[in-house]
């Protein structure tokens, strides 16, 4: 009798082990997801947790509970065969919940690991802080996306438009305009009158046909709010553009006849100078092409270095020169390296940097 009972116990244990081995197993690709920073004004945020049945029998997710009413789970409710995938979709509602959050979602199933825990976390920007991120610059009651308008490259003869997004940050109507515009720049506020907390834009149009300058162009314009012009940095907007030839429209024949900028070296070594002296160097430029090479502009930001002439035309096969004067009175004893840029109509070398080096001695 004792032997028979022992055999029955062994059979029961083996049967139990066999049944356990045949259970499904729920395996998640990830159990934690960080939403990062989300805006309350953007509404609900959702993430999908994928899982796989890595067991040997069908898996059934029986229920999924969230730790908070702000979190809503949805899941695959049909049996999932071994090797197949399922999903648990978790949606978080940030409305009225600014700040950091950590929310648990508990998954119950018929798997050998019957209970699993998932976590979502992140930080909610309030509606007011999200608006501050979108319009971080203040000009009185007007909020701005930026104070710098980049027109980038503008082909000579064409126009370029860029838009500045703005918002009325006050509780009263606000009239918006722009003053101190050069002849080649237009600006229009749309709408011209913003209601309280209303968003709008200022459209800037750069007309290169009316701009006499080539190369980099910088302009500061002023915002006029409710008819009042305030000449300070807060109300100043900077417009940047680079006016250049439109080489993209050149035909093969035009490229064949194009000017070709040729120099022996883009570096000019002026040697040792006595402090307080004025030294002159020359940059010899040859046009190896057929059509005239136009030095559109010398772009020089060094107050103690002058380059002239500022514009130069060199016929095909001919050479020209730029005279470079260096005034050392403002330079202490030491070694120096400065550069300037020339803009040309050579399609392969429209901007070239020329470097000067010298040393100042007592």
Q: How confident is the prediction for the chain on average, in pLDDT? A: 88
201 DSSP β-pair partners = 165, 190
39 lies in the same domain as 88: yes
Q: What is the mean pLDDT of residues 203-216?
A: 95
| Closest CA relative to residue 263, chosen from 342, 357, 347 | 342
For 117, 165, 337, the CA distances from 58, given in Å and listed in that order, are 21, 55, 76
Residue 317: is its pLDDT beyond 70? yes
301 three-state secondary structure:
coil
141 and 230 part of one domain: yes
Note whether 233 and 179 are same-domain residues: yes
Both tokens of 188, joined, read 């229009």
Per-residue pLDDT at 7 exceeds 90:
no
More confident residue, 308 or 13: 308
Residue 321 near residue 283 (C-beta atoms within 8 A):
yes
pLDDT given for residue 21 in this prediction: 52
Question: Which CATH number characterizes residue 185's domain?
Answer: 2.60.40.10
Residue 328 is predicted with a pLDDT of 87
Quick one: residue 139, left, alpha or beta (phi over 0 = left, psi -120 to 50 = alpha)? Answer: beta
In a domain, 11, yes or no: no
Same-domain check for residues 104 and 179: no
Alpha helices in the chain (DSSP H): 2-21, 127-134, 252-256
The residue among 169, 285, 189 whose CA lies nearest residue 237 is 189
Q: Kindly report, residue by residue over 242-291, the tens digit of the pLDDT.
A: 999 999 889 999 999 999 999 988 998 988 988 888 888 999 999 999 99
**Lowest-pLDDT choice from 61-70, 200-209, 282-291:** 61-70
Q: Which of 127, 160, 178 is the last residue of a domain?
A: 127
Of 357, 360, 344, 335, the closest CA to residue 265 belongs to: 357
Confidence of residue 127 (pLDDT cuts 50, 70, 90): low
Range of the domain at 197: 135-244
Whether residue 278 lies inside any domain: the answer is: yes
pLDDT of residue 132: 62
CA separation for the pair 221, 207 (Å, rounded): 16
Residues 6+ apart with CB under 8 A from 249: none
Q: Please tell me the distance from the alpha carbon of residue 87 to that of residue 225, in angstroms, as a whole number.
A: 54
Tell me how crowded residue 206 is: count the other CB atoms within 10 A of its CB.
25
The 3-state DSSP class for residue 330 equals: helix
Residue 191 and residue 267 in one domain: no
The verdict on residue 352 lying in a domain is yes
What's the pLDDT at 3? 46
Domain count, the chain: 3
52 and 111 Cβ atoms separated by less than 8 Å: no
- pLDDT of the residue at 129: 55
Tokens of 160: 């370029």
**How many C-beta neighbours within 10 Å does residue 157 have?**
11
Residue where a domain terminates, one of 210, 244, 278:
244
Decide if 104 contacts 83 (C-beta within 8 A).
no
How many whole angstroms separate alpha carbon 226 and alpha carbon 343?
42
Mean pLDDT, rounded, for 69-73: 90
Q: Is 184 found in the same domain as 93?
A: no
Instruction: Say whether 41 sits in a helix, a strand or coil.
Output: helix
Per residue in 8-58, pLDDT tens?
Answer: 434 444 444 444 457 899 999 999 999 998 888 788 999 999 999 999 999
| Residue 118 and residue 140 in one domain | no
Contacts 24+ apart (CB under 8 A), 160-163: 160/205, 160/206, 160/208, 160/241, 161/203, 161/204, 161/205, 161/206, 162/203, 162/204, 162/206, 163/201, 163/202, 163/203, 163/204
Residues 274 and 230 in one domain: no
Exposure on the CB side of residue 352, measured as CA atoms within 13 A: 22
Whether residues 171 and 73 fall in one domain:
no
Are 105 and 84 contacting, i.e. CB atoms less than 8 angstroms apart?
no
274 and 341 belong to one structural domain: yes
Regarding pTM above 0.75, the answer is: no
119 and 188 assigned to the same domain: no
The pLDDT tens digits of the residues spanning 158-191 come to 999 999 999 999 999 999 999 999 999 999 999 9
- In a domain, residue 324? The reply is yes
* 37 & 102 share domain: yes
Alpha helix stretches (DSSP H) within 75-172: 127-134
pLDDT above 80 (res 233): yes
SS3 state at 21 = helix
pLDDT at 355: 92
Token reading at 141: 């009651």
- 186 touches 162 (CB < 8 A): no
Give the number of C-alpha atoms closer than 13 A to the C-alpha of residue 238, restricted to the C-beta side.
Answer: 11
Q: Which of 14-18, 112-116, 121-125, 236-240 has the lowest mean pLDDT?
A: 14-18
* Domain end call among 75, 102, 127: 127
């Amino acid at each position: 009798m004792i032997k028979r009972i022992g055999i029955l116990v062994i059979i029961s244990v083996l049967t139990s082990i066999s049944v356990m081995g045949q259970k499904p197993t729920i395996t998640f690709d990830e159990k934690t997801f960080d939403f990062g920073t989300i805006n309350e004004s953007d509404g609900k945020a959702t993430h999908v947790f994928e899982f796989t049945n890595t067991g040997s029998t069908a898996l059934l997710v029986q229920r999924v509970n969230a730790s908070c009413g702000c979190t809503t789970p949805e899941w695959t409710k049909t049996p999932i065969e071994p090797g197949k995938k399922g999903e648990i979709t978790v949606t978080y509602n940030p409305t009225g919940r600014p700040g950091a959050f950590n929310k648990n979602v508990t998954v119950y199933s018929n798997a050998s690991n019957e209970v699993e825990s998932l976590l979502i976390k992140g930080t909610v920007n309030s509606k007011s802080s999200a608006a501050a991120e979108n319009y971080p610059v203040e000009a009185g009651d007007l909020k701005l996306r930026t104070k710098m308008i980049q027109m980038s490259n503008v082909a000579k003869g064409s126009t370029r438009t860029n838009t500045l997004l703005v918002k009325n940050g006050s509780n009263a109507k606000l009239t918006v305009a722009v003053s101190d515009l050069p002849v080649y720049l237009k600006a229009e506020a749309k709408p011209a009158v913003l209601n309280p907390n209303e968003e709008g834009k200022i459209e800037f149009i750069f007309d290169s046909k009316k701009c006499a300058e080539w190369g980099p162009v910088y302009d500061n314009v002023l915002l006029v709010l409710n008819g009042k012009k305030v000449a300070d940095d807060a109300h100043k907007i900077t417009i940047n553009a680079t006016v250049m030839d439109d080489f993209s429209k050149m035909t093969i024949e035009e490229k064949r006849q194009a000017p070709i900028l040729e120099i022996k070296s883009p570096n000019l070594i002026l040697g040792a100078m006595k402090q307080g002296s004025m030294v002159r160097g020359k940059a010899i430029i040859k046009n190896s092409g057929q059509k005239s090479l136009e030095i559109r502009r010398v772009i020089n930001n060094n107050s103690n270095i002058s380059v002239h002439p500022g514009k130069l035309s060199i016929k095909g096969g001919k050479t020209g020169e730029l005279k470079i004067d260096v005034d050392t009175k403002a330079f202490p004893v030491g070694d120096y390296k400065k550069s300037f840029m020339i803009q040309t109509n050579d399609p392969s070398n429209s901007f070239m940097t020329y470097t000067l080096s010298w040393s100042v001695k007592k």
